[in-house]
């Protein structure tokens, strides 16, 4: 089994990171990505890996098609070790949502490969892949959006350290925090029958691409946030999660991703 703690590289191994797309769910590198996925994300943040595996298989059958999500799983490893599951440095998974924008679902970097620029490389490559998809459809790529769960104020130091890592990475890749919105999403860790499971509040981040940053006014951001509910979670206006995410008083605005990294005390003060 691949361990996150296996640091199987020599000092120079990460000077060149190779990023490629997975097309085979049975490949050992794809399976190593499944393990990394389950190691690096808590259960309430992730969908079953099987769904991702399915989309990897489906990729081999089709090109981007108007109206259909175009999903991608990208993997990273030191150059020359792309066949060694112990050398899997990271993965990113997401999709182009035609008529909307890009949606980055998950990213993870193995412990031994962190703070070496792997996360940044995966983001950049993901943006490129989605640009190609959008180009094939003859569409612009206005933005890429992603969600992230900010730890509870009293969470362990390790959770806050990871939140800092996330927001710095988001900042480094040009992501902007959608301040003023707690995006309520279903709790995937809860039993399907458990209607009472509280939704998970997520922070949203947007990387403006073909649409300039200044065009993301509060009105436009409300559309972007509402669009995420409709397209990804099938929540329409009038459903509790949609309406609680976007109350009439909500005026979202873009701010540097680093601003989302600030820790709040139990009383809501910045510390
Ligand atoms: C968040 C994560 C993907 C970052 O990956 P990474 O490859 O280490 O990131 P990079 O090396 O590209 O670094 C990007 C920036 O973050 C900073 N950073 C990374 N880890 C950090 C840490 N632990 N503390 C402070 N800053 C950190 C880097 O210094 C860099 O900033 P800089 O360019 O301004 O110096 C990785 O920590 C991870 O996999 N965490 C667990 C899974 C997870 O949280 N995924 C995100 C789900 S939304």
Q: Give pLDDT tens digits for 185-201.
A: 988 766 655 566 788 89
Name the residue ranges covered by the structural domains of the chain: 1-119, 142-264
| Structure tokens given for 132 | 């190609």
Query: How high does pLDDT run on average in the chain?
Result: 89
Quickly state the pLDDT bin for 45 (edges 50, 70, 90). Answer: confident
Q: If we measure between CA atoms, which residue out of 176, 237, 173 comes closest to residue 204?
A: 176
Q: How many residues does the chain have?
A: 271
Residue 62 has pLDDT above 60, yes or no: yes
Higher-pLDDT residue of 218 and 5 is 218
Mutation pick for ligand 1 pocket among 78, 114, 151 (CB with most ligand atoms within 8 Å): 114
pLDDT in tens, 127-144: 999 999 999 999 999 999
Residues 6+ apart with CB under 8 A from 253: 178, 179, 180, 218, 221
pLDDT in tens, 80-133: 999 999 999 999 999 999 999 999 999 999 999 999 999 999 999 999 999 999
Q: Is 227 helix (H, G, I), strand (E, B) or coil?
A: helix
Residue 65 has pLDDT above 90, yes or no: no
Contacts of 58-63 with CB under 8 Å at 24 or more apart are: 59/21, 59/23, 60/23, 60/24, 63/136
pLDDT in tens, 151-193: 998 999 999 999 999 999 999 999 999 999 999 998 876 665 5
Residue nearest to atom 26 of ligand 1 (CA): 165
Give the DSSP letter of residue 146. E
| Structure tokens given for 170 | 């988001």
What does the pLDDT read at residue 2?
Answer: 43
| Structure tokens given for 140 | 């612009």
Residue 184 to residues 175, 176, 178, 200, 241, Cα–Cα distance (Å)? 20, 19, 14, 6, 6
Quickly state the pLDDT bin for 72 (edges 50, 70, 90). Answer: very high
| Structure tokens given for 80 | 């020359």
The string of DSSP codes covering 45-104 is G---HHHHHHHHHHHTT----TTS-EEEEEEEEETT-TT-GGG--EEEEEEEETTTEEEE
Residue 241 has pLDDT above 70, yes or no: yes
| CB-defined site of ligand 1, < 6 Å | 40-41, 107-109, 114-120, 148, 161-162, 164-166, 168-169, 172
What does the pLDDT read at residue 198?
Answer: 85
Mutation pick for ligand 1 pocket among 9, 74, 115, 121 (CB with most ligand atoms within 8 Å): 115
Distance 261 CA to ligand 1 centre (A): 12
- Report the percent of the chain where pLDDT is more than 70: 87
Residue nearest to atom 22 of ligand 1 (CA): 165
Q: Residue 154 — φ and ψ, nearest 5°?
A: -100, 10
Distance 122 CA to ligand 1 centre (A): 11
């Amino acid at each position: 089994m691949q361990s996150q703690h296996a640091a199987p590289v020599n000092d120079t191994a990460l000077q060149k990171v190779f990023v490629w797309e997975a097309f085979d769910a049975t490949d050992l590198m794809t399976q190593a990505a499944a393990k990394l996925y389950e190691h690096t994300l808590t259960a309430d943040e992730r969908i079953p890996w099987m769904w991702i595996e399915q989309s990897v298989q489906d990729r081999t059958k089709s090109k981007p098609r108007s109206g259909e999500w175009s999903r991608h799983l990208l993997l990273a490893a030191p150059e020359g070790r792309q066949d060694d599951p112990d050398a899997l440095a990271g993965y990113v998974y997401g999709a182009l949502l035609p008529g909307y924008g890009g949606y980055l679902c998950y990213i993870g970097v193995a412990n031994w490969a962190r703070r070496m620029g792997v996360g940044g490389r995966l983001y950049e490559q993901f943006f490129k892949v989605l640009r190609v998809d959008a180009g094939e459809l003859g569409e612009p790529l206005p933005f890429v959006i992603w969600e992230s769960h900010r730890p509870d104020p009293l969470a362990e130091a390790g959770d806050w350290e990871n939140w800092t890592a996330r927001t710095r990475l988001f900042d480094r890749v040009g992501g902007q925090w959608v301040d003023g919105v707690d995006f309520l999403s279903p709790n995937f860790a809860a039993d399907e029958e458990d209607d009472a499971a509280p939704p998970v509040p997520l922070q949203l981040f947007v990387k403006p691409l073909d649409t300039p940053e200044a065009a993301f006014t509060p009105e436009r951001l409300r559309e972007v946030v509402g669009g995420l509910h409709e397209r990804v979670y099938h929540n329409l206006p009038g459903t509790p999660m949609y309406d609680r995410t976007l109350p009439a008083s909500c005026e979202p605005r873009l701010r540097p991703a680093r601003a989302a990294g600030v820790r709040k005390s139990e009383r809501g003060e910045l510390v």
